[in-house]
Amino acid sequence: MSRRAVTTLLAALGVVLPSVSVRADGEVTIRGAYYREASTRVIQPVVAIDQNLPQGFDVHTTYLLDAITSASANAGTAKDSIFTELRNEVSLGVGKTWNKTRATLGYIYSAESDYWSHTLHASGSQSFWGDTATVALSLGLSFDQATARNIPRTPFCATAPSLNCPLDIYFAGVSYTQVITPTFIGQLDLESAYLDGFQGNLYRTVPNSPMGFENPPEKRLRNAIAARLAYFFPSTETGLQLHYRYYFDVYPGTAPTTMGPNLGAGYLQQPGYDPWQVQSHTIEGRIYQQLSPTLQARFTLRIYHQSQAAFWCDTLGNPSCYPPQGQFSITGTPESTDPKLGPVNTEYPEVKLIWDAEALRDVPFFRWFAGGTFEISYGYYYQSTSFGDAHVLQTGYTMPY
């Protein structure tokens, strides 16, 4: 198989070979996504620009807008009513390639009406063994802050008179990619993130809570191990991918125990008990099929299974499952009604079409788009949580320049 074909396989795994240049001087990508579930709609336009510069430098910038429309009482509104929230995100990244080595540095700013985030990230990769292997290291830190609005009392995370709730995140990840044969590639990823601060929803209420709002644990160590395999059949121009990810988290300084879930407010009376203990398994299969010289289809099925956090309590099914606070001498006990911290099962099938617009080269006006690539996808989320199932529609166009 040609070097370009191997590079294509690596690109499908999200891996960059620094010594291979496969882009033009720059490219512009415009994407749009629409997410719809029972009570929430999300429209997300994205514009991204990549520019190659002299001496191995390149620049990447992105603007993203989340327009979220929902009916919820847990969003700072006085009653269950329709509201719209906007989130703006801007990112800027600079990269440098030296033959087989690549380094990047980036900054991301995200802002909502009551949440702000500043993120710095850096990465480096090194290819060796004739460009058949790549090792990459990623580091990042994020400083977030939430500010409560329209709530009558101070949340657990804040000290009066301030209603600000900070969250600091420190991330590290390492990956190894190996070309096993000219048509077979494997990759292994390890990730870890330490979170310190408020990790809940400022407006989500909890029955029997003395302050009325949820209070998740303030520290969390999130870990993930992922493996990916990709195989290409040249005779049929078919690509297969299999992804698996195992996730687990702990409260730093404690060890998981064999104690059962749903201990609620009483867990702090058990020395050394870890309130998190969330575990999840994700398996995803993809099939890429070249339908014509300019049209490719991708079929995806992702299955996700998650256990609940040890301190989480199903207040929808049992409103009194958190005992009244007066029953315990310890205050500030972690509590949450977030469905995403309970047991979760999802299945997500998706189909995607990618079309090289070369056929438009001789069509008046549309010839301007002939050098680019269009894509469209539709997926459906089957979710076990109270959020209900969801539709996901995405479109995009990438044009080199």
pLDDT in tens, 127-146: 999 889 999 999 999 999 98
Measured CA distances, 285 to 138, 176, 199, 288, 337 (Å): 25, 20, 31, 10, 32
Could you tell me the pTM of the whole model?
A: 0.84
Q: How far apart are CA 182 and CA 231, in angstroms?
A: 9
Q: How many CB atoms lie within 10 A of CB 75?
A: 19
Mean pLDDT of 34-62: 94
Compute the distance between CA of residue 113 and CA of residue 150 in angstroms, rounded to an integer: 12
Digit-coded pLDDT (tens) for 264-288: 444 444 555 788 889 999 999 999 9
Is 50 exceeded by the pLDDT of residue 392?
A: yes
- 172-195 per-position pLDDT tens digit: 999 999 999 999 999 999 999 999
Cα separation, 187 vs 18, in Å, equals: 17
Q: Is CATH 3.40.50.2300 the classification given to domain 3-400?
A: no
**Token duo for residue 241:** 């991918």
DSSP-assigned letters across all residues of 119-176: EEEEEEEEEETTTTEEEEEEEEEEEEEEE--S-SS--TT--TT--EEEEEEEEEEEEE
Map out the domains of the chain as residue ranges.
Answer: 3-400
Cβ–Cβ under 8 Å, residues 251 and 267: no
User: For 328-376, how does the pLDDT look when each residue is reduced to its tens digit (9 = 90+)?
Assistant: 334 457 778 888 999 999 999 999 999 999 888 888 888 888 889 999 9
Q: Which of 11-25, 230-244, 323-337 ranks highest by mean pLDDT?
A: 230-244
